[in-house]
Homo-oligomer: A and B are copies of this chain.
Amino acid sequence: MKRLTLKDVAKMAGVAPSTVSFVLNGKGKQMRIRDEVASRIMQVAEKSGYEPHRMAVNLRTGQSKTLGLIVESISGSFFASLAKTIETEAERRGYNVVYCSTENNAQKGGELIRMLGRQMVDGYLITPAPGMEKEIQHLVQQHKPVVLMDSYFPAIKTPYVLINNFDGVQQGMKHLIGKGLTKIGFVMVDVKLIQIEERLRGYTTALKEHKIPVKKKHILQLQYHRQREDSLNELQSFIEANPELDAIFFSTNYLGILGLEVIARMGLKMPDDIAVLCFDDHDIFRLYPPGISVIEQPIEGIAKTAIDLLMHQLDKNSGPMKKTAVEIPGKFILRGSA
Question: Cβ of A51 and Cβ of B118 under 8 Å apart?
Answer: yes
Q: What residues on B are CB-neighbors of A77 within 8 Å? A: 75
In the bound assembly, the distance between CA atoms of A283 and B254 in angstroms comes to: 12
What 1/0 mask marks residues of chain A from 80 to 101 whose CB sits below 8 Å from any chain B CB? 1101100100000000111101
Q: Does A257 contact B (CB under 8 A)?
A: yes
Q: What residues on B are CB-neighbors of A215 within 8 Å? A: none
Q: What residues on B are CB-neighbors of A97 within 8 Å? A: 98
* 9-residue interface stretch from A20-28, A56-64, A145-153, A327-335: A56-64
Checking B56, B120, B284 against A283 with a beta-carbon cut-off of 8 angstroms, the contacting residue is B284
Q: Does A1 contact B (CB under 8 A)?
A: yes
Q: Does A260 contact B (CB under 8 A)?
A: yes
Query: Smallest Cβ distance from A231 to chain B, in angstroms?
Result: 14
Q: Does A318 contact B (CB under 8 A)?
A: no
Query: Smallest Cβ distance from A286 to chain B, in angstroms?
Result: 9
In the bound assembly, the distance between CA atoms of A133 and B284 in angstroms comes to: 34
Question: Cβ of A257 and Cβ of B98 under 8 Å apart?
Answer: no
Contact A257 B80, CB 8 Å, known A54-B118, A55-B64, A56-B59 = no
Q: What residues on B are CB-neighbors of A289 within 8 Å? A: 264
* Count of residues in A whose CB is under 8 Å from the partner chain: 37
Q: What residues on B are CB-neighbors of A53 within 8 Å? A: 59, 120
A residues 261-308 touching B (CB-CB < 8 Å): 261, 264, 283-284, 287-289
Which residue on B lies nearest to A1, using beta carbons?
A: B142
Q: What residues on B are CB-neighbors of A80 within 8 Å? A: 74-76, 80
Highest count of chain B CB atoms <10 Å: which of A54, A55, A84, A98: A55
Query: Smallest Cβ distance from A114 to chain B, in angstroms?
Result: 9
Checking B84, B103, B118 against A101 with a beta-carbon cut-off of 8 angstroms, the contacting residue is B84
Query: Smallest Cβ distance from A149 to chain B, in angstroms?
Result: 17
Given A261-B287, A284-B284, A287-B288, 13 extra CB contacts under 8 A = A1-B142, A51-B118, A53-B120, A54-B119, A54-B120, A55-B58, A55-B59, A59-B59, A74-B87, A75-B81, A80-B80, A99-B99, A264-B289
- 30 A-B pairs, CB-CB below 8 angstroms? A1-B142, A51-B118, A53-B120, A55-B58, A55-B59, A55-B64, A56-B59, A59-B59, A74-B83, A74-B84, A75-B77, A75-B80, A75-B81, A75-B84, A76-B80, A80-B80, A83-B99, A84-B101, A84-B103, A96-B98, A96-B119, A98-B98, A257-B287, A260-B287, A283-B283, A284-B284, A284-B287, A284-B288, A287-B288, A288-B288
